[in-house]
Amino acid sequence: MSITADISETATATGFSREGVEAVSRARLDTGAARDARLRAWELYESLPMPQRTDEEWRRTDLRGLKLDRLRPYAALDGSGVSPVRALEAAGVEDAAAQIALGPNAGVVVQRDAGTILATLDPDAAAQGVIFTDLATAYREHPELVERWFMTQAVPASFGKFEALHAAFWQGGSFLYVPKGVTIEAPFRAFSLISEPGAAIFSHTLAVVEEGAQAFMADAFRSPSLEGQSFASAVVELIVEPDAKLRYVQVQDWGRNVWNFMTERATLAQDATLNSLHVALGSKFSKASIGSHLRGKNTLAEMLGIYFADGDQFFDHHTWQLHESPYGTSDLEFKGALKGNARSVYSGLIKVFEGAQKTDAYQQNRNLVLSRTARADSIPNLEIAANDVRCTHGATVSQVEEEHLFYLQTRGVPRSEAQNLIVEGFFRPIIDRVPVEEVQEFLRTAIARKVGI
């Protein structure tokens, strides 16, 4: 038996415990500081209560179906011998070869369970000082950079119960670092895949774009629907330094056995710009907390979201637009469609701190219900401590009008295609705001698949 396999079995046997944390740390060859950080996070996890339905953020979220004690908190690390194409095919990704080289790219990281099977970086980008690799490798080779940002400012371990668990057991993920003044047009792509049933996967994305730099990063989380419950914990930290620009796209398409927990925070310094898009299609249960912290003056955060739930899927999105300094602009638009017995919850907060004058913040959530048994809840919130601001929000929940379907059917359009046209038209304003043709085409195809044509 290999050392890696032995450690994997040890961690599996010990479950979510201090011994399990130590097994992960040994397997990752952690430094003393990294190991101590994991153990501190575990102690914090044990000290924090499990979220309750009496907590406002969890009031509409039922965790009773989550069976952490039945999960394996550690998946095999050895990804050698498995081609990235095979790994994508095993994860149910169609046309796997095309996914690896989906248009131009500046770098690709592919991870299967907790193991990295591919990490590439364009030589021209590397020559300019860009770093893009799996997070464990980055931690070993560039500890001064990773330790400066990893769960220290954007998402500390103290953020919450599940974030503390993530800090203790993180195993996979990617690290992007773009030095001052460097512009990379092509996207950096990261794939996180699950192939082992009953596994708990902890993927961490850390992107740092220094002053005056520009980058585009895309995360994809995918798996087939496997037997038994699986658990996916993702933390995303986006650090956008002064006058820097980052475009970030995330696609969540886990299998229907996965319980997904994702926390993302972006911190924006003066004159920084963030354009983000979040797409939720898969998993049985998904709880996502997405926030932009506008810490500097003249910052811009564009936050777009698309979710489409069917069957018995449950999607819960909480968004945060945190304005700390004057002259900041945030523009959020999340749209969702639901069919079958699916349910969604959206809750968003615009918070303007004292002194953040001239803030311009917008928040919109719209939901399209395609069946009588689906349900969408939408709760927008404002918290304003400055007196010279413009903050607006809106929320809608509506059904597809039968007369619209009838109109299209009378013109020879089959009902399923007519419904797809209406749904695509509903999402079109967001799709058009993402000036990346391949992303637009992916969204159109995914929507048609969900509608069922």
Of 337, 338, 331, which is closest to residue 364 (Cα–Cα)? Answer: 331
**220, 249 in Cβ contact below 8 A?**
no
The reported pLDDT for the residue numbered 32 is 81
The reported pLDDT for the residue numbered 101 is 45
The reported pLDDT for the residue numbered 314 is 97
Cβ within 8 Å of residue 27, ≥6 positions away: 4, 7, 8, 11, 74, 77
The reported pLDDT for the residue numbered 54 is 87
The reported pLDDT for the residue numbered 84 is 58
Tokens representing 249 are 């796209």
| Predicted TM-score (pTM) of this structure | 0.92
Of 277, 274, 390, which is closest to residue 326 (Cα–Cα)? Answer: 390
The reported pLDDT for the residue numbered 10 is 43
Report, as ranges of residue numbers, the positions in the chain whose pLDDT lies below 50: 1-13, 76-80, 95-98, 100-101
Segments making up each domain of the chain, as ranges: 82-401, 402-453
The reported pLDDT for the residue numbered 355 is 94
